Amino acid sequence: MSLPGPDPLVVVPLVDAQEVQFWMEMAVGGVAASPETQRDTCRHLGRLRDLLQVLLTHMNNTSSTTEAMHRLPFLGQLLGRLCWTPHVTADAVCRRLLLESMWSLYSEEPSSPVEMKANHWIRSVLCQLSTEDEDPVTQILVQHATVPPKHYHLNVLRKLVSLLSEKMGRSCSSLSKPSQRCSCDTLLAVSETYIPLVTCPEAAPLIGAMLERTATCVRATLSQDFLDAVSAAYLRNGLCLEDEAVVSLWCHSLPSLEEAVMSQLDSLLSGSRPTLRITEQQLAGCLLPRACARHAPLFLIVNDIFRFLLQRVEGHQPLRSVVHSFTRCFLREVARLQPQERAPMKAFFPNTPRQLLQPLLVPPTEMPPEAWADHLTWIVQSLQRLTEEEEESDEDTGTRGQRVVFEAWLLLVQCAHWVEVAVQLLVSPGPGDREAGGVRELWSRSRTLLADPSPLATSEPLRSLAELLVSLGAKPRPLAPGLALGILVNAAVLSGEPIARATEVVCTVVRRCGLVTEEALCVLSSSADLLGLQGAEGRLSSGDPDRGQRLRTRALQEALTHADMMDTC
């Protein structure tokens, strides 16, 4: 059925004539089209969406249907054919554009026979497409069973989806009879035919079953167009997939994995500053660490993304915290796997110096605190050896050496728990021959400042601490600002001064010395973590030996957050 009009193939140069011709031929068979044509249609739905959008814009720019028909004489025939092509109308975007086009052609006050005929045509196409294909059995059952037509069609759709999904799982024979043909051989072609269904929420279980198939059968391959469509629908149009299916999608579609990582980072880094614990809670509920633990290739890609971002924004403490939290969640998920499911750690960190890997990956909580110092000394020596080797290496191997050092640094970011332990040990009272003179000096000046009762505006110790910070930052081997901050914050937590005073000192130093409040909060959040302070309901019982420290940590966190908010305002 088509609209009346002049010779349909005389295409005005408003749109690409070849494109129109292509779709005229493609949509000629409707439901009876050959499987190849159906697959071609599905593969090129993106092109069709573009064409329909262009046509719709032209239609909206004309003053009447008569004018639209005159300028786009092929319109009726093209729309008519496309409406009867289920692989086109099953795609949500094409369907919307087709219906909008029909609506656009519908005249409020038809003023000519052409417009009256067009209105009649549009109404009858809509009527046929929505109501008229029920066989007598369906009609009888709808009349007697209390299932209205809309529900009936939905039921049929769900049934077909469940039958086809079940069959998808049942019919694979690649494991039992590897030499025979397996039904999964046809999955590539099937997946092309199903491209429009990714926009249909009811079809989600079938899409999921197809994705999962690729994880269990080597013969099962999905078309790239299908994977792209699924990925777009999953990320943007709320396609609901089971976890296994999503992991399978990530394994087969790099853009989809990248987008998942980036959107996770966005949600963690935007908005209010997350504490280490909140970040970890968010990540623990997310599928990525679990998927990475099971699939080393996924972890490698996620790690590559982190590596790239860390290189771009080197000093970004919140990003480092996220990388650290992610690694902790990942390690926890690895530990949960059965030993036979676990890949060796080398598969996850192929370029990391072997001697560092295990010592850094082990969490401090799995070791008695008395052993921390020795463990750290061992790590420091290994790191030192690595950097020395890098400095000694000749030009040819220099790049390689740098890469090794970079990988070691990255692992240190990922396993930042040991850096925190190191800071804690540096400032803890007790015997210890800590080498870093600057660090000790910083520690003692911080303590002096905290104990000094004079007003901060005129405080001599404050001036001297600020000077030290500047000189430490300018040395040939400058002290990392994060470490300086860590020492100051820890001094405040451990000092016996009133909380208000400690807070005032930390805020002033942070502001005067151009340190970043956000980083101070990260340090606090890590020490809170080491102290086992859990959220707002942390254990603050009076019998707790660390109670004072916990209270001060929390007070400092609150004060700094408040001060930062005031600054931002």
Write the interaction track for other proteins spanning residues 417-436; mark x where CB under 8 A is met and - where it is not: --------------------
Q: Distance of alpha carbon 56 from its chain centroid, rounded? A: 35
Structure tokens at 561: 């957050």
Q: Is 123 in the site for other proteins (CB under 8 A)?
A: yes
Of the pair 223, 303, the CB lying nearest other proteins is at 223
Question: What is the C-alpha to C-alpha distance for residues 27 and 47, in angstroms, rounded to an integer?
Answer: 14
Contacts of 256 (CB under 8 A, 6+ apart): 227, 230, 231, 234, 235, 249, 250
Q: Is 355 in the site for other proteins (CB under 8 A)?
A: no
Choose which of 103, 255, 347, 567 interacts with other proteins (CB under 8 A). Answer: 103
Q: Is 106 in the site for other proteins (CB under 8 A)?
A: yes
Choose which of 144, 177, 354, 475 interacts with other proteins (CB under 8 A). Answer: 144
Q: How far apart are the first and last CA of the chain?
A: 65
Question: What is the C-alpha to C-alpha distance for residues 493 and 214, in angstroms, rounded to an integer?
Answer: 54
Of the pair 27, 507, the CB lying nearest other proteins is at 27
**Closest CB 167 distance from other proteins, rounded Å:** 7
Residues in contact with other proteins, counted by CB under 8 A, come to a total of 71
Per CB under 8 A, the segment of 147-155, 311-319, 514-522, 549-557 that binds other proteins is: 147-155
Crossing angle of helices 136-144 and 149-170, in 10° steps, is 120
Of the pair 173, 281, the CB lying nearest other proteins is at 173
Q: Is 153 in the site for other proteins (CB under 8 A)?
A: yes
Contacts of 493 (CB under 8 A, 6+ apart): 502, 524, 527, 549, 552, 553, 556
Of the pair 238, 271, the CB lying nearest other proteins is at 238
Of the pair 110, 538, the CB lying nearest other proteins is at 110
**Please, which of residues 469-528 interact with other proteins by CB under 8 A?**
none
Structure tokens at 345: 């750690």
* Cβ atoms within 10 Å, residue 132: 8
Of the pair 152, 372, the CB lying nearest other proteins is at 152
Of the pair 66, 183, the CB lying nearest other proteins is at 183
Contacts of 190 (CB under 8 A, 6+ apart): 210
Of the pair 1, 470, the CB lying nearest other proteins is at 1
Q: Is 154 in the site for other proteins (CB under 8 A)?
A: yes
Write the interaction track for other proteins spanning residues 178-217; mark x where CB under 8 A is met and - where it is not: -----x------x--xx-xx--xxxx--x-----------
When computed from its CA atoms, the radius of gyration of the chain, rounded to whole angstroms, is 33
Asked whether 563 and 527 are in contact (CB, 8 A), the reply is no
Choose which of 24, 126, 412, 425 interacts with other proteins (CB under 8 A). Answer: 126
Choose which of 140, 254, 367, 500 interacts with other proteins (CB under 8 A). Answer: 140
Question: What is the C-alpha to C-alpha distance for residues 219 and 77, in angstroms, rounded to an integer?
Answer: 42
Of the pair 29, 46, the CB lying nearest other proteins is at 29
Q: Distance of alpha carbon 330 from its chain centroid, rounded? A: 15
What is the DSSP annotation of 252-265? H-HHHHHHHHHHHH
Choose which of 4, 10, 47, 151 interacts with other proteins (CB under 8 A). Answer: 151
Structure tokens at 369: 């605190």
Identify the helix (H) or strand (E) that includes residue 337. none
Choose which of 99, 215, 362, 466 interacts with other proteins (CB under 8 A). Answer: 99
Per CB under 8 A, the segment of 124-132, 218-226, 344-352, 466-474 that binds other proteins is: 124-132
Choose which of 24, 129, 278, 300 interacts with other proteins (CB under 8 A). Answer: 129
Q: Is 120 in the site for other proteins (CB under 8 A)?
A: yes
**Closest CB 113 distance from other proteins, rounded Å:** 13
What is the DSSP annotation of 8-61? TT---TTS-HHHHHHHHHHTTSGGGS-HHHHHHHHHTHHHHHHHHHHHHHHHHT
**Closest CB 67 distance from other proteins, rounded Å:** 16
Asked whether 202 and 157 are in contact (CB, 8 A), the reply is yes
**Please, which of residues 38-67 interact with other proteins by CB under 8 A?**
38
**Please, which of residues 234-253 interact with other proteins by CB under 8 A?**
237-238
Choose which of 1, 9, 156, 218 interacts with other proteins (CB under 8 A). Answer: 156
Say which amino acid occupies 434: R
Per CB under 8 A, the segment of 126-134, 212-220, 248-256, 445-453 that binds other proteins is: 126-134
**Closest CB 131 distance from other proteins, rounded Å:** 5
Choose which of 100, 228, 244, 452 interacts with other proteins (CB under 8 A). Answer: 100
Choose which of 43, 96, 375, 434 interacts with other proteins (CB under 8 A). Answer: 96
CB burial class (10 A; 0-12, 13-18, 19+) of residue 204?
buried
Of the pair 161, 484, the CB lying nearest other proteins is at 161
CA within 13 Å, CB half, 454 = 9
Of the pair 35, 535, the CB lying nearest other proteins is at 35
Say which amino acid occupies 153: H
Question: What is the C-alpha to C-alpha distance for residues 101 and 87, in angstroms, rounded to an integer?
Answer: 18
Per CB under 8 A, the segment of 122-130, 220-228, 371-379, 435-443 that binds other proteins is: 122-130
**Closest CB 31 distance from other proteins, rounded Å:** 6
CA within 13 Å, CB half, 437 = 2
Choose which of 1, 12, 14, 145 interacts with other proteins (CB under 8 A). Answer: 145
CB burial class (10 A; 0-12, 13-18, 19+) of residue 34?
exposed
Structure tokens at 41: 């249609």
